[in-house]
Structure 1
């Protein structure tokens, strides 16, 4: 059975449990690839691909560019999520490049923790159904994680106007 982004993330967490820097480097890399593959999959579900505007590069940079510049046919929430995914994926890619290629640079536990936390946020944002669009449109707000804030009214119906 083919692997999934969730499985790659699980492997990254397991690798991150080891104390050595080599394992941290490997965990950062696996986490990035979990994010990259989940973003590619998420992008395919959009109404249209975004514009490849920005820094030139290979497939990874092109995906980041398209996410950061979503198509106008995307809803407001999808545009916000796409931009947030692009920005986070770029940061995660920079950590992955350091972990994989800059062997003379120290990779800290803090960097690993940030990578794992941010990839988990990104994957959760991609996994969130689009039905949250109505909450964003109703409140006009979105959290830093690219999701609408929790409704203060659990029933989901707007409170009646004061009389």
Structure 2
């Protein structure tokens, strides 16, 4: 049970730490919930975000944005398995991979957020 809990908690730590950043992104095309940020909406906002339009200095970060989206999708799927597919086996190795995946996501988002913050004095809407 601890392995499943580790996978789930790692994902939720990531979700909640990314929330302030992602809430600054435009709502996704399929969004029908206003500013409510569901798990799917978080990934959709990152996916649809036109990163270079916001900050030309970030044009070379498109690859990082794609990596964030893919890793977040994978982390969310791992959390679904850990929380709901109780007949499926989960391993300690998968839990360690989830924790490292979440660390990577948070580092990449922090890097982009720092670049955006450096380019202005006040808060930046991305």
**Superposition TM-score, scaled by structure 1 size:** 0.56
- 1:66 counterpart residue number: 45
Greater relative contact order (CA < 8 Å, ≥ 6 in sequence): 2
- 1:119 and 1:52 map into 2 onto residues whose CA distance is 26
List 4+ stretches of structure 1 deviating above 3 A: 50-53, 77-82
The alignment status of 1:40 with 2:19, answered yes or no, reads yes
Shift of 1:44: 3.4
Change (3 A) 1:83 1:50: farther
More helix by share: 2
Q: Which of 51, 58, 74 is matched with 2:28 structurally?
A: 51
After superposition, where does 1:103-114 map in structure 2 within 5 Å?
103-114=86-97
Q: Matches of 2:82 and 2:63 in 1, distance apart?
A: 29
Looking at structure 1, the residues matched to 27 and 97 of structure 2 have their Cα atoms a distance apart, in angstroms, of: 27
Aligned residues: 105
CA 61–35 in structure 1, closer or farther in 2 if over 3 Å, else same: same
The equivalent of 2:69 in structure 1 is 86
Taking the aligned partners of 2:16 and 2:106, their CA distance within structure 1 comes to 10
**SS of the residue aligned with 1:92?**
helix
Q: CA RMSD in A?
A: 2.4
Uncovered stretches (5+) of structure 1, i.e. residues with no partner: 1-21, 134-163
Following TM superposition, by how much is the alpha carbon of 1:25 offset from its aligned partner in structure 2, in angstroms? Answer: 0.4
Structure of larger gyration radius: 1
Q: What runs of 5+ residues in structure 2 fail to find an aligned partner?
A: 31-36, 119-126
Aligned to 1:101: 84
SS in 2 for 1:114: helix
